């Protein structure tokens, strides 16, 4: 369902009408992103009588596809707030951030989020929302079993075994179903000391460290029945989160919105950094969503001025607080770090400076992401092989990257 907000009068009632497509972060009509944008656009238009802003809000199930279809039809919006930017940047569809934003606005982005918005060292993607992950545990279940939160893999496995003995349905919930398997996968790869890419930026999905990590997961958690009654490849994040909020999960990897939901359901939530092989993981997984500005309609100045307003501290804070997300600017992050009302988010904010993000600067990432969601769970089937599945994903990632590079070369040749 699409809602068009702000500037609802006929185009031309102002000197310029900006079209923005945005994702909906709400889970009901009461907290839909429609209300956030409606208020923000009204305030902006009151101070800028020559500009109207039309905002269309789509669910996360639809928003990326909607923008892709608009661009393919030659009807790109002026602005889009969606999940990925790199493909549009590589195709020359986007303005550079420094052609849009004032210097203070651009300099205020959290450094690693700004870096993640770069393609070939030029920023096109502007971070709009962020979160990090921590290991959540149910304090009541841990206390009843006489446990302390784990800091290493061996401690996590021992805690899970004790929780199973105590009758906990999901000692450690391992959601590797297709909904968001790429997130659970990445956090475990980081905890094993590696990740999706190598130090030089190529894909390294089947590295020896990654194979060791997933082999440990299969041998020590899955095959020992410590991940619950649903096979990891069939357990989606939403189902795992719902089970945690019902008090049925001992441990799982979670983000700020789960904390709010679980607390509201009366679950006493504990949070610690993700355990690693020998010590807690130094680098947590971070996730960011992106704002971008399309060149199609030539509204560079107006889009840039509106974005400067969007990224004012008060507006960033309002959005972050409404949806329990982390601020993407250093000024708003500093405020949240010390404000009593944001104390529940402090552990997640502490992880942000060292957080590792998906390789969103790669135009091949969309395909690689889809492949991971579809296939990674098979590594934990009864006859599954982590090494074989990671090797297959590496082969497919190499192929996707080669195809993306060939497309970029053909695009460059066509422009000459």
Residue 5: pLDDT over 50: no
Which pair of tokens denotes residue 243?
Answer: 């089970």
Residue 275: pLDDT over 70: yes
Q: Is 291 helix (H, G, I), strand (E, B) or coil?
A: strand
Residue 410: pLDDT over 80: no
Which pair of tokens denotes residue 70?
Answer: 């608009």
* Parallel/antiparallel/unpaired status of strands 285-293 and 356-357: parallel
CB atoms within 10 A of CB 128: 24
Please give the share of the chain, as a percent, with pLDDT higher than 90.
84
Mean of the pLDDT values across residues 353-379?
93
Which pair of tokens denotes residue 399?
Answer: 């192929």
What is the Cα–Cα distance from 381 to 79, expressed in whole angstroms?
Answer: 43
What is the Cα–Cα distance from 58 to 22, expressed in whole angstroms?
Answer: 6
Residues 6+ apart with CB under 8 A from 65: none
What is the Cα–Cα distance from 386 to 392, expressed in whole angstroms?
Answer: 10
Residue whose C-alpha is closest to residue 28's, from 326, 327, 323, 344: 323
pTM (two decimals): 0.86
pLDDT tens digit sequence for 10-55: 334 458 999 999 999 987 788 899 999 999 999 999 999 999 999 9
Taking the CA atoms of 142, 143, 146 and 152 in sequence, report the sign of the dihedral they define. Answer: positive
- Token pair 């945005």 is at which residue? 22
Residue 389: pLDDT over 80: yes
Predicted confidence at residue 29, as pLDDT, reads 82
Query: DSSP labels for 132-171?
Result: E-EEEEEHHHHHHTT----SBHHHHHHHHHHHHHTT-SEE
Please work out, in degrees rounded to the nearest 5, the angle formed at the alpha carbon of residue 400 by the alpha carbons of 395 and 401: 100
DSSP 27: S
Taking the CA atoms of 21, 23, 28 and 32 in sequence, report the sign of the dihedral they define. Answer: negative
pLDDT tens digit sequence for 291-305: 999 999 999 999 999
* Parallel/antiparallel/unpaired status of strands 51-58 and 16-23: parallel
Confidence category of residue 6, pLDDT binned at 50, 70, 90: very low
Confidence category of residue 406, pLDDT binned at 50, 70, 90: confident
Predicted confidence at residue 356, as pLDDT, reads 92
Predicted confidence at residue 412, as pLDDT, reads 54
Confidence category of residue 396, pLDDT binned at 50, 70, 90: very high
Q: Is 52 helix (H, G, I), strand (E, B) or coil?
A: strand
Please give the share of the chain, as a percent, with pLDDT higher than 70.
94
Confidence category of residue 2, pLDDT binned at 50, 70, 90: very low
Please work out, in degrees rounded to the nearest 5, the angle formed at the alpha carbon of residue 125 by the alpha carbons of 336 and 74: 135
Predicted confidence at residue 408, as pLDDT, reads 66
H or E element: which one contains 43? Answer: helix 33-47
H or E element: which one contains 271? Answer: strand 269-272
Residues 241, 141, 377, 183, Cα dihedral to 10°:
50
Residue whose C-alpha is closest to residue 284's, from 297, 273, 268, 269: 273
Residues 6+ apart with CB under 8 A from 17: 7, 11, 51, 52, 53, 54
Confidence category of residue 3, pLDDT binned at 50, 70, 90: very low
pLDDT tens digit sequence for 153-176: 999 999 999 999 999 999 999 999
Confidence category of residue 366, pLDDT binned at 50, 70, 90: confident
Average pLDDT, the chain: 92
pLDDT tens digit sequence for 49-80: 999 999 999 998 899 999 999 999 999 999 99
Please work out, in degrees rounded to the nearest 5, the angle formed at the alpha carbon of residue 236 by the alpha carbons of 374 and 389: 30
> 165: buried, middle or exposed (CB in 10 Å: 19+, 13-18, 0-12)?
exposed
pLDDT tens digit sequence for 110-152: 999 999 999 989 999 999 999 999 999 999 999 999 999 999 9
DSSP 220: I
- For the chain, the straight-line distance linking the first and the last C-alpha, in angstroms and rounded, comes to 42
b (16+ CB within 10 A) / e for 275-295 = bbeeebbebbbbbbbbbbbbb
């Amino acid at each position: 369902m699409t809602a068009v907000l702000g500037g609802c009068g006929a185009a031309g009632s102002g000197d310029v009408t900006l079209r923005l497509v945005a994702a909906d972060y709400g889970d009901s009509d009461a907290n839909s992103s429609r209300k956030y944008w409606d208020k923000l656009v009204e305030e902006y238009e009151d101070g800028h009588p020559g500009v109207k802003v039309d905002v269309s809000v789509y669910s996360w199930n639809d928003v990326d596809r909607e923008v892709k279809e608009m661009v393919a039809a030659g009807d790109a919006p002026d602005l889009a707030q969606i999940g990925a930017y790199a493909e549009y940047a590589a195709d020359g569809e986007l303005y550079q951030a420094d052609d849009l934003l004032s210097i203070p606005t651009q300099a205020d982005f959290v450094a690693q989020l700004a870096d993640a918005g770069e393609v070939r060292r030029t920023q096109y993607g502007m971070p709009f929302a962020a979160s990090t992950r921590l290991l959540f545990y149910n304090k009541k279940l841990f206390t009843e079993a006489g446990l302390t939160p784990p800091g290493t893999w061996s401690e996590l496995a021992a805690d899970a075994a004790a929780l199973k003995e105590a009758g906990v349905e999901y000692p450690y919930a391992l959601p590797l179903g297709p909904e968001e398997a790429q997130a659970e996968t990445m956090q475990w790869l980081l905890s094993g000391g590696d990740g999706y890419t190598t130090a030089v930026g190529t894909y390294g999905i089947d590295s020896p460290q990654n194979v060791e990590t997933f082999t440990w997961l299969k041998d020590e958690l899955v095959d020992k029945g410590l991940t619950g009654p649903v096979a990891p490849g069939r357990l989606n994040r939403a189902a795992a989160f719902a089970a945690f909020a019902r008090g049925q999960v001992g441990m799982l990897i979670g983000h700020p919105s789960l904390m709010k939901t679980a607390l509201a359901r009366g679950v006493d939530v504990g949070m610690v950094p993700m355990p690693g092989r020998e010590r807690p993981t130094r680098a947590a997984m971070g996730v960011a969503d992106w704002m971008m500005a399309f060149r199609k309609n030539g509204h560079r100045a107006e889009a840039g001025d509106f974005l400067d307003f969007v990224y004012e501290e008060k507006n960033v804070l309002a959005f972050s607080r409404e949806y329990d997300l982390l601020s993407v600017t250093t000024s708003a992050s500093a405020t949240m770090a010390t404000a009593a009302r944001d104390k529940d988010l402090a552990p997640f904010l502490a992880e942000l400076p060292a957080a590792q993000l998906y390789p969103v600067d790669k135009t091949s990432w969309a395909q690689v992401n889809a492949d991971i969601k579809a296939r990674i769970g098979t590594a934990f089937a009864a006859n599954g092989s982590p090494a074989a599945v990671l090797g297959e994903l590496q082969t497919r990632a190499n192929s996707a990257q080669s195809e993306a590079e060939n497309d970029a070369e053909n695009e460059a040749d066509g422009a000459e």
